[in-house]
């Protein structure tokens, strides 16, 4: 009796290392240790390559000893919008991936551009590198490029500029002072927030913050980041899942999950996590994004 082969599909994760090369290593080390973007200048034809390379592609001169430092500013020559999600991507789509010709360079560097609505992105835009706070010894030591022009975001994202999947966060450490001020603001002097001896006898074992204190960290997200200035919140729902202790660092995140065309409103998924990655709360919001500014 004969039967077909039964095929089981699988994937292998393959950790690997590679040598960035002499020229590439020098580029990455300068980026990591000096926050400098290096290029190589051809001594024969004067072409400036960024990132540097070992040989001139135009006249084949050796460039291994050339080291020129570029300014962190440049011009977008080309760009695309990444909308699909893959595990290797540095940030969550949608985002803008651009080719940026640094001032003084002849070749473009490919990187992320943030801080401009996708609909307003254009070639010719002047951008500036924003270096990462934490080094990864990769090209991501430049976190992204942002507009260097007098690009003023006087309002947040309008309905048409918002896309499903866009997200923004705000992070803050909740201190004892925050809790006492919040008690004064709200009038909630519940001893479980203010009296350590009392709180010891509760299931939490110590004082905890008012639930509405971490919750209100979503306000700077909605009102200042996404959709941003001019946003009107219609509804905010919250389910509390874990307590916030004094000293906890809470990240509030909002993500666009639905565009309600008829009303020009958007629905957002909300989440609050602490420094351990535990979900403190989750919920949703219904907001009116800012109306476009008159021309
Ligand atoms: Zn050359």
> What average pLDDT does the chain have?
93
Q: How far is the CA of 62 from the centre of ligand 1 (A)?
A: 8
Give the pLDDT score at 13. 83
Residue 210 has pLDDT above 70, yes or no: yes
Q: Which of 35-49, 116-130, 149-163, 244-258 is least confident?
A: 149-163
Q: How far is the CA of 124 from the centre of ligand 1 (A)?
A: 26
Q: How far is the CA of 79 from the centre of ligand 1 (A)?
A: 27
Q: How far is the CA of 7 from the centre of ligand 1 (A)?
A: 53
Tell me the mean pLDDT in the region 58-75. 92
The band of 6, judged by pLDDT with boundaries at 50, 70 and 90, is confident
Q: How far is the CA of 41 from the centre of ligand 1 (A)?
A: 8
Give the pLDDT score at 182. 97
Q: How far is the CA of 104 from the centre of ligand 1 (A)?
A: 15
Strands 68-70 and 37-41: antiparallel
Residue 179 has pLDDT above 70, yes or no: yes
Give the pLDDT score at 90. 86
Residue 49 has pLDDT above 70, yes or no: yes
In the block, residue with structure tokens 């925050």: 178
Tell me the mean pLDDT in the region 270-274. 98
Domains annotated on the chain, with CATH: 21-147 (no CATH), 159-288 (3.10.129.10)
């Amino acid at each position: 009796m004969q039967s077909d082969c039964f095929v089981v599909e699988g994937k292998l994760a393959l950790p690997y290392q590679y040598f960035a090369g002499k020229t590439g290593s020098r580029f990455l080390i300068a980026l990591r240790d000096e926050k400098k973007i290096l290029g190589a200048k051809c001594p024969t034809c004067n072409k400036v390559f960024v990132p540097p390379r070992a040989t001139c592609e135009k006249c084949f001169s050796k460039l291994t000893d050339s080291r020129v430092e570029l300014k962190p500013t440049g011009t977008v020559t080309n760009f695309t919008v990444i909308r699909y999600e893959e595990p290797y991507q540095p940030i969550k789509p949608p985002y803008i991936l651009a080719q940026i010709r640094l001032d003084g360079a002849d070749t473009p560097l490919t990187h992320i551009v943030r801080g401009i609505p996708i609909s307003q992105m254009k070639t010719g835009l002047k951008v500036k590198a924003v270096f990462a706070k934490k080094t990864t010894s990769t090209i991501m030591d430049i976190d992204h490029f942002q507009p260097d022009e007098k690009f003023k975001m006087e309002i947040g994202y309008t309905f048409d500029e918002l896309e499903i999947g866009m997200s923004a966060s705000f992070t803050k450490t909740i201190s004892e002072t925050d809790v006492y001020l919040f008690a004064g603001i709200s009038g909630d002097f519940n001893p479980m927030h203010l009296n350590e001896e009392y709180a010891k006898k509760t299931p939490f074992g110590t004082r905890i913050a008012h639930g509405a204190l971490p919750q209100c960290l979503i306000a700077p997200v909605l009102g200042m980041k996404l959709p941003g200035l001019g946003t009107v919140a219609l509804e905010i729902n919250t389910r509390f899942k874990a307590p916030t202790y004094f000293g906890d660092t809470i990240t509030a995140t909002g993500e666009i999950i639905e565009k309600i065309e008829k009303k020009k409103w958007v629905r957002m998924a909300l989440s609050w996590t602490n420094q351990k990655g535990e979900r403190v709360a989750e919920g949703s919001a219904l907001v009116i994004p800012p109306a476009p500014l008159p021309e």
